[in-house]
Amino acid sequence: MRFFVRYDAGKGGSTVYARLKNSSGQYWDFTALTWVSSINSNCKIFLNEYSDGDPKESLYMQQADIPAGGPWIQEAVDNSDGTVIAYDDSIMGELSAVPTTKSTLQEKLEFIFQYLALRRTATNTLETMYKDDGTTSLGTSVLVDDGATFDKDKVS
């Protein structure tokens, strides 16, 4: 995921950082790859500053992997005083399971994206949908073709 925010120019790459929170208020540790109850330095992704000619603001941005699932809360923070300068509460990671009819809209949209953008294979009897790594199956769908009618079951 690409974390980004527009903020005051001249803060450099060591002032503005992004962090990821879950609905329980835990922070994602990008090094240990686990949720932790209190923020530590491994929970902060410092954003590089990109000046674009605006005398007052710059673009701050950095790429980092996020955990599967969500939606998560992304916060951009000014490290000099701890002020949250921006947030987004609809950040989605890769799905860990196929959504159901009771899943959130974000999960359903992520499923459509993953179905269209990621690897799928099909034989004459089975379609397999893969996660971003291209080898882990997210779900399968039974295929039936009797020569007159093609039938594709739901992905489960």
Asked if 47 and 17 touch (Cβ cutoff 8 Å), the reply is yes
Q: Which two tokens stand for residue 42?
A: 């491994």
Same domain, 86 and 115: no
Q: Is residue 145 part of a domain?
A: yes
Give residue-wise pLDDT tens across range 55-82.
999 999 999 999 988 889 999 999 999 9
Q: At 94, is the pLDDT very low, low, confident or very high (cuts 50, 70, 90)?
A: confident
Is it the case that residue 33 has pLDDT exceeding 90? yes
The verdict on 23 and 76 lying in the same domain is yes
Quick check: helix, strand or coil at residue 136?
Answer: coil
Note whether 11 and 54 are same-domain residues.
Answer: yes
The model's confidence at residue 17, banded by pLDDT at 50, 70 and 90, is: very high
Residues 78 and 112 in one domain: no
Span 95-122, mean pLDDT? 89
pLDDT of residue 41: 97
Confidence of residue 142 (pLDDT cuts 50, 70, 90): very high
List of E strands, the chain: 2-8, 16-21, 27-29, 34-36, 45-46, 48-50, 57-63, 72-78, 83-91, 120-122, 126-130, 137-145, 150-152
pLDDT in the model for residue 12:
84
Average pLDDT over residues 92-97: 85
85 band by pLDDT with thresholds 50, 70 and 90? very high
- Cα separation, 74 vs 20, whole angstroms: 5
Q: What torsion, rounded to 10 degrees, do the Cα atoms 3, 17, 29, 37 define?
A: -120
Domain count along the chain: 2
- Phi, psi (deg, nearest 5) at residue 31: -95, -50
Residue 99 lies in a domain: no
Q: What is the pLDDT of residue 36?
A: 98
